Amino acid sequence: MTKHPRKIIIDTDPGQDDAVAILLALASPEDIDVLGVVAVAGNVPLPLTQRNARIVCELAGKPETRVFAGSDAPLQRPLVTAEYVHGKTGLDGPQLADPVMPLQDQHGVDFIIETLRREPAHSVTLCPLGPLTNIARAMQQAPDIIPRIQQIVLMGGAYFEVGNVTPAAEFNIYVDPQAADIVFKSGVSIVVMPLDVTHKVLTNRQRIEAFRALGTEPGRMVAEWTDFFERFDMQKYGSEGAPLHDPCVIAYLIDPSLFQGRHVNVEIETQSELTMGMTVADWWGVTNRPANALFIKDVDADRFFALLTDRIGRL
């Protein structure tokens, strides 16, 4: 039986790790058909995330990729950004020229709705790599699309690993907890790549040099982005290298056997400021709340980096 590439929409706030995830997706046409890339405000404001998304598509040699601007602020809360991690541009590290490829005129949320209505039901996977604002807005504006979504594979949340932006919450969920609550209660099949697993795919000298040794512009860029990106996590966690959070989403689509997790109930804290945005995962099944997510906890990091380096090497 011929394997058809999986149709996806990437929703993203580039961000160096988002950029690597987008490169991985665009380097894998036999596995993934990127119907569009929708930018959301997150790591940096929307004018920069939509610019950065286009820069990355051009770096991948895919300027025909359709890139849209989505939401410029969370549903209810003021925008919180992360320039302290990603730098002022969101893609600090190498010097980058402005993109030439156009930004689509259509609003990204309308693109998500239109695509899900047009494509056959259960044929499109949504891959959020930033705050869930666009996904939640699409669900609010067009509830009819919810049962048409094949799956949501997202980077966000944390349980055993606890938060990275507050003691309780991971950044993507923390920025828009109301949006996350809508998505996790939607009934759509969800796969979660939380910090519990992304903190197990850490860059190190050898892994970064493997990107540089590709001898290609994308390989050099990935090496320079991860060089820049890792300084924050090494300082904060004393860890060796930076966690490549967002590429876990795309790697899962290409080879789910890289990952292990558990179907559990996950609910989002939206009331208490102390724990706002916490993903409360019932890992030990102590409640009778129904399982609504595959919560990933483990990964074969060496195989993950081998896949990533091989695919980036194609560009």
Nearer Cβ to ligand RIB (87/145): 87
Task: Phi first, then psi: give them for residue 116, nearest 5 degrees.
Answer: -65, -30
Buried b (16+ CB within 10 A) or exposed e, 150-159: bbbbbbbbbb
Distance CA 180, CA 86 (A): 22
Give 9's strand partners.
Answer: 36, 126
Counting contacts by CB under 5 A, is residue 130 touching Ca ion?
yes
Q: For the CB of residue 251, give the shortest distance to ligand RIB in the complex, in Å.
A: 14
- Listed in order, strand segments (DSSP E) in 25-119 are 32-39, 67-69
| Candidate residues 11, 18, 92, 267; the one interacting with Ca ion per rule CB under 5 A | 18
The DSSP line for 228-261 is HHHHHHHHHH--SS-B-TTHHHHHHHH-GGGEEE
Counting contacts by CB under 6 A, is residue 49 touching ligand RIB?
no
**Residue (of 172, 90, 186) closest to 128 by Cα position:** 172
Q: For the CB of residue 240, give the shortest distance to Ca ion in the complex, in Å.
A: 21
| Candidate residues 11, 58, 170, 196; the one interacting with ligand RIB per rule CB under 6 A | 170
Counting contacts by CB under 6 A, is residue 159 touching ligand RIB?
no
Counting contacts by CB under 6 A, is residue 129 touching ligand RIB?
yes
Q: For the CB of residue 156, give the shortest distance to Ca ion in the complex, in Å.
A: 9
Q: Interacting stretch for ligand RIB, rule CB under 6 A, among 166-174, 185-193, 200-208, 270-278?
A: 166-174
Residues involved in catalysis? 245
User: Which residues make up the interface to ligand RIB (CB under 6 A)?
Assistant: 13, 15, 17-18, 42-43, 129-130, 155, 164, 170-172, 245-246
